[in-house]
Amino acid sequence: MFRIFRIYLIFRNFNERSQPFLNRLALPNKKKVPLYYERIPKPIDLPHIQSNIEQGTYKQPKVFEDDLLIMFSNAVKYYGISSPEGVASEKLKEHYYICKQRQVEKLIAYVGEQNELLRGFVPKTEPVPVVVTKKRGKFKQEQVEDIIRCICGLFKDEGLMIQCSKCLVWQHIECTKADPAVENYLCEKCEPRKVDYEITLNEFTEEGYQYYISLLRGNLQIRQTDTVYVLRDIPMSPDPNDPKVQPRKHTYETIGKVDYAECDIFRVESLWKDKEGRRFVYGHHYLRPHETYHEPTRRFYPNEVMRVPLYEVIPIELVIDRCWVLDPTTFCKGRPVDSSEPHVYICELRVDKSARLFSKISRHTHPVCMKSYAFHKFEEKLKISKTFAPHDLGSLAHLLAAKDNRKKGSKKDDSNSVASSASNTTPKKMTPVMQLLPPPPKKRVH
């Protein structure tokens, strides 16, 4: 068993040099983040693994390795593959395999290759799968799933595509502007180069609007079909030197710490730059339960949102972050690999503009890519139930927050504080700068 410990120690040493990585994999507080413990069937951290080693719980290296890999995949599943936690675990996993490779020969020499102890840990004939061996040409092409990994971040299997001759991912020609005739195309990872993440569409208007597949808001790439948090209309405090000047509005750069529960949830349908180069997103809102009119007895999923046909043009600076809105079937099946669990919502219903009439959405217009490289399937489907009632005492916090806002005046109050006979909650205000403008007319140029 001491060999496991050696692999572990070497691995751990790496951690000590990279404390931030290690910290990322600490388990969250059970009381503060109960969601983590609902979603992750086997929460495990490094101190736990270490104590298992010390107490001799692991009878076989494979069991130790399984725990380590579960720890890595937990972080990716809960926080998303591109989150700091996801990146840290991918790095550590890579490092673990290198440590393992170095130790495994000594381990074999010590216990013998055929030893039952090594079952599952060291593959019998093949070498340790440390570095993924290059798959050449058409070999295995039929079995291996074609992977789409484009600079746009979208998985749509449409239009002309080109394959990286090294890592074999497929990319959209429209996005990469690659020459389809090129012999050995290499993706931006295999041949690092400067990439423009603002990807134009062949759509513009006479008024000088240029449409995009994706635009950047600072470092955040926002794509068509993304759902995002949008900052409500929050004025900055007036300039004391010049109090007469209309105070400016907060943007993602000025707002500081954001309370996501106070942001609007918004589906991006199109993006464009105007003649001056200002960036805008256009799309529709989702409402949270307390923003709708409903019978006090009505219950919702705890993280439910309702699609509402309120369309709006929003300056991109008001987009705060990405979030994920899934239909109930998808929600129960698993998660997009880049999703972060605290920011995943479920949407089953639509409401009308007045937020009074509820109806079931029969067809979801933005299906999630369910390919294994884009989607983590849960081992067991989630069982969900409508337990959340905004009028329950337990949910009072929502109401208080809403009232607080009215006091602060951050939402315009349209007077009749009693929203409806059935509901005492505040009706939703559409606040960001331009309200309900249609997007500029589209023109496709061939």
Q: Name the site residues for Zn ion (rule: CB under 5 A).
A: 150, 152, 164, 166-167, 172, 175, 187, 190
**DSSP character at residue 81:** T
Which of 164/323 has CB closer to Zn ion? 164
- For residue 418, give both structure tokens: 């009693």
Q: Which residue number, 149 or 249, has a Cβ lying nearer to Zn ion?
A: 149
Shortest reach from residue 278's CB to Zn ion, in Å? 24
Beta bridge partners of 284: 267, 311
Could you give the 3-state DSSP secondary structure of residue 64? Answer: helix
Instruction: Pick the closer one to Zn ion by CB: 81 or 88.
Output: 81
Report in angstroms how near the CB of residue 151 gets to Zn ion at its nearest: 6
Which residue is listed with tokens 């992977």?
A: 147
Minimal distance, residue 422 CB to Zn ion, in Å? 46
Residue 394: exposure state from Cβ atoms within 10 A (0-12, 13-18, ≥19): exposed
Is the Cβ–Cβ distance between 165 and 191 less than 8 Å? no
In whole angstroms, what is the distance from residue 324 CA to residue 342 CA? 10
CA–CA separation, 174 and 152 (whole Å): 10
Separation CA 176–CA 186 (nearest Å): 11
Residue 175 or 320: which CB sits closer to Zn ion? 175
User: CB 96 → Zn ion: shortest distance, Å?
Assistant: 24
Residue with tokens 């503009």: 353
CB 176, min distance to Zn ion, A? 7
Q: How far is the CB of 189 from Zn ion (least distance, A)?
A: 5
Asked if residues 236 and 250 have their Cβ atoms less than 8 Å apart, the reply is yes
Nearer to Zn ion by Cβ, of 159 and 441: the residue is: 159
Least distance from Zn ion to the Cβ atom of residue 153, Å: 7
Q: How far is the CB of 140 from Zn ion (least distance, A)?
A: 17
> For residue 41, what are its two tokens?
């069937």
Contacts of 100 (CB under 8 A, 6+ apart): 7, 65, 128, 130
CB of 144 to Zn ion, least distance (A): 15
DSSP 224-242: TT-EEEE----BPPPPTT-
- Token pair of 54, please? 């010390």
Transcribe 141-161 into DSSP letters: TTTSPPPB--TT------S-E
Query: Between 189 and 333, whose beta carbon lies closer to Zn ion?
Result: 189
Give the strand pairing for 358-360 and 220-223: unpaired
CB of 133 to Zn ion, least distance (A): 15
Tell me whether residue 49 or residue 187 sits nearer to Zn ion (CB atom). 187
CA–CA gap between residue 10 and residue 17 (Å, rounded): 11
Q: Which is nearer to Zn ion, 118 or 150 (CB)?
A: 150
- Residues 6 or more apart whose Cβ sits within 8 Å of residue 142: none
Strands (E), 177-256: 199-204, 210-217, 220-223, 227-230
d(CA 323, CA 313): 18
**Stretch (H or E) spanning 386:** none
Pick 26 or 190: Cβ nearer Zn ion: 190
Minimum CB separation of residue 192 from Zn ion in Å reads 10
Q: State which residue, 149 or 290, has the beta carbon closest to Zn ion.
A: 149
Q: Which is nearer to Zn ion, 214 or 303 (CB)?
A: 214
Which of 60, 26, 59 has its CA nearest to residue 44? 26
